[in-house]
Amino acid sequence: MNETKKHSHDHDHSHWSDMDLKVKTLESLLVEKGYVDPAALDVIVETYETNVGPRNGAAVVAKAWNDEAYLERLRENASDAIAELGFTGRQGEHMQVVENKPGVHNIVVCTLCSCYPWSVLGLPPVWYKSAPYRSRVVIEPRSVLSEFGVKLPEATKITVWDSTAEMRYLVIPERPSGAKDWSEEQLAKLVTRDSMIGTGLALLPNEVPA
Amino acid sequence: MLSWLIVGEVILNMPDLGLLDGIVLDQDEPVFSEPWEAQAFALVIGLYEKGAFTWNEWATVLSSTIHSDDGCTSYYELWLKALETIVMQKALANKDEIFVRKTEWQKALLATPHGQPIELQNAHKS
């Protein structure tokens, strides 16, 4: 049963890996048949590499911290409230926010594959897609959190949310104290990607990189 | 929509965690480590946006591809494998077409001198 996974054939004549060859094969066929447009493919890569990223989610969280009415809209219909800021999902998924509070901590996973709120967080980090995270966070969230450097009080309840193709979760981390009169732009700097997955906490005001 | 509520200590039976790799944390990882990963990613989004399949169908194929793997294959390799599966499932291209096209690219590679762009028409030069 133990099949070796990496068959690396060294072809001296080839500039391409097996993966390059497979992608090129599919891409050229699908473009030729009109199922995809090559220019659109470039735009997709560029969008996800540069325009979409956890900064979108940070703007949502900062607004939720600062604007009670917005938070209420997020609770009622997160997809619509997030779209107010111009961030819309490409996969038609529904968004739900889960709020961290004293004594309550939320973590997001996709145990099936790698469903992730792309429109607000960009592409998932490597560890999010890894088998160890997907399996362990459900079984032993505290120990996983400690590997991320997060220690929660024993009494804190931890809820693990399993994403699906239709439902994605965004964690609203607890607003740190000491940033009382901060603007939304300043507050957004406290919101890390991991804090919106639940594997981190929001930064403290003195932790913001200069 | 599933969620597990775990209060205080771990309440589920623990599997042998020694069998699982640790979670590798890397804050500064690039989004894609090689160009083919970006191409495979974009192909899926592009096909989805053109209506070739629903996102749910894609998630189902990707998820079963990941689950039939022993955990040793990289994420985008599985992504690409799932793409091949859904392309055939949806009859966007069949096995024979894929085989023939792959062979053509291999010929093109052989016929293309170093440093020149690899193009499909080169397959027919030699």
- 3-class DSSP state of B28: coil
ipTM of the complex: 0.76
What is the predicted pLDDT for the residue at B27? 54
Residue B21, chain A, CB below 8 Å: the answer is yes
Q: Is A155 in Cβ contact with B67 (below 8 Å)?
A: no
pLDDT tens, A154-209?
999 999 999 887 889 999 999 999 888 899 999 999 999 999 999 999 999 998 87
- Chain B, nearest residue to A138 by Cα: B4
Please give the Cα distance from A81 to A95 (Å, whole number).
Answer: 10
Of the candidates A48, A115, A165, the beta carbon closest to that of B31 is on A48
Of the candidates B10, B72, B92, the beta carbon closest to that of A35 is on B92
What is the predicted pLDDT for the residue at A122? 83
Q: Is B12 in Cβ contact with A139 (below 8 Å)?
A: yes
- Chain B, nearest residue to A156 by Cα: B8
Q: For chain B, 126 residues long, give each residue's pLDDT as a single digit of tens.
A: 344 444 333 333 333 333 335 556 555 566 777 889 889 999 999 999 899 999 889 989 998 998 888 777 888 899 999 999 999 999 999 999 999 999 999 888 888 777 677 788 777 765
What is the predicted pLDDT for the residue at B13? 34
**Token code pair at residue B96:** 């024979």
Asked about A113 being catalytic, the answer comes back as yes
Q: Is A132 in Cβ contact with B21 (below 8 Å)?
A: yes
Q: Which of A14, A17, A113, A146 is catalytic?
A: A113
pLDDT, mean of residues A68-77: 96
CA of residue B59 relative to chain centroid, distance: 12
Mean pLDDT for chain A? 86
**Token code pair at residue A122:** 């960009």
- Which stretches of chain B are assigned E, i.e. beta strand? 2-7
What is the predicted pLDDT for the residue at A89? 67
Residue B61, chain A, CB below 8 Å: the answer is no
CA of residue A147 relative to chain centroid, distance: 18
CA distances (Å), origin A84, targets A17, A56, A98, A104, A167: 43, 12, 18, 27, 19
* Structural domains of chain A, ranges and CATH numbers in brackets: 18-50 (no CATH), 54-203 (3.90.330.10)
What is the predicted pLDDT for the residue at A119? 81
Please give the Cα distance from A195 to A200 (Å, whole number).
Answer: 4
pLDDT tens, A115-168?
888 888 888 888 888 888 988 999 999 999 999 999 999 999 999 999 887 889
Q: Which residues of B fall within a CB distance of 8 Å from A114?
A: 62, 66, 75
Please give the Cα distance from A157 to A104 (Å, whole number).
Answer: 5
What is the predicted pLDDT for the residue at A52? 72
Residue B38, chain A, CB below 8 Å: the answer is yes
- Chain A, nearest residue to B84 by Cα: A26
**Token code pair at residue A175:** 């607003």
More confident residue, A48 or A139: A139
What is the predicted pLDDT for the residue at A7? 40
